[in-house]
Structure 1
Amino acid sequence: MTLSNLLFRLLLVTAMTFSVVACGDNNAEDAGEKIDEVVTDAGNKVEDLCEDVKDKADAEDKDC
């Protein structure tokens, strides 16, 4: 998975989350929690992708 593909998916998920929130009961706390989950998941995926790239490149520093 390329970085641009991952960013596109992140943008798509974020847009869908906002769409679901807009159609909901306007509960700000629930909306905030959903957004936090999406951002956390996206951050984890980016970190996993970074670690995979460094692993395949046999980099000495595997932290991202």
Structure 2
Amino acid sequence: MCQHQPLCPAADSLDREAAHVVNSHPDQGWSLLCNGVIMFEDTGLLLPDGSVVAPHRVLAYAA
């Protein structure tokens, strides 16, 4: 799917979120990456095979 050089990370790699955004819908809270991953604004992911990666953003620690 990726036409970039160098190629974007595959959907099953750990750095999959580094892929280029090909379609962005900030009003709806999601973006489609060129590797087929749908990335949500809460950092959750929907992978092309239908599996889900739970939100994983780092929360600020209040001291």
More strand by share: 2
More helix by share: 1
Looking at both structures, which has the greater relative contact order when contacts are Cα pairs under 8 Å and sequence separation is at least 6? Answer: 1
Same fold (TM > 0.5): no
TM-score normalised by L of structure 2: 0.27
Q: Which has the larger Rg?
A: 1
TM-score normalised by L of structure 1: 0.27
